[in-house]
């Protein structure tokens, strides 16, 4: 048993804020849902199952909430600026793709 208590030293800061990670995951899932819907529509020649409407609503919710998390993560002190910018851009792209699909569909 040692007389002196050993301290734990960490030589790296957290590289990315947890809110930014959540925003990145939400944006990625939203884009995956959107791309799978477009691919299913192409394969079935426009006769997609009704579940894709529900999936697109979920994609909209994920993109909006992901954008909120991205802005919260942007205000956080920890993490790098690149991850924060990518999470904001990814969720904006997910929202723009949904709007583009809705405009083309009507």
Q: Which residue's structure tokens are 């609503």?
A: 57
Would you write out the chain's pLDDT as a tens digit for each of its 106 residues? 556 666 665 454 556 678 888 999 999 999 999 999 889 888 988 888 888 889 999 999 999 999 999 998 888 777 778 888 899 999 999 999 999 988 887 5
Amino acid 12: pLDDT: 46
Q: Which of 96, 72, 102, 94 is nearest to 28 (CA)?
A: 94
DSSP single-letter state for residue 79: S
Helices 51-75 and 81-105 sit at what angle, rounded to 10 degrees? 150
CB 72 within 8 A of CB 19: yes
Amino acid 13: pLDDT: 54
What is the token pair recorded at 14?
Answer: 């957290």
Amino acid 79: pLDDT: 74
Phi and psi at residue 8, in whole multiples of 5°? -90, 130
Domain residue spans in the chain?
18-105
């Amino acid at each position: 048993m040692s007389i002196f208590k050993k301290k734990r030293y960490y030589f790296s800061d957290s590289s990315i804020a947890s809110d930014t990670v959540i925003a990145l995951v939400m944006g990625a899932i939203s884009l995956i849902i959107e791309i799978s819907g477009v691919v299913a529509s192409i394969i079935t020649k426009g006769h997609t199952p009704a579940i894709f409407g529900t999936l697109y609503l979920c994609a909209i919710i994920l993109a909006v909430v992901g954008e909120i998390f991205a802005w919260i993560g942007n205000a956080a002190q920890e993490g790098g600026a690149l991850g924060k910018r990518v999470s904001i851009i990814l969720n904006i792209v997910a929202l723009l793709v949904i709007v583009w699909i809705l405009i083309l569909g009507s």
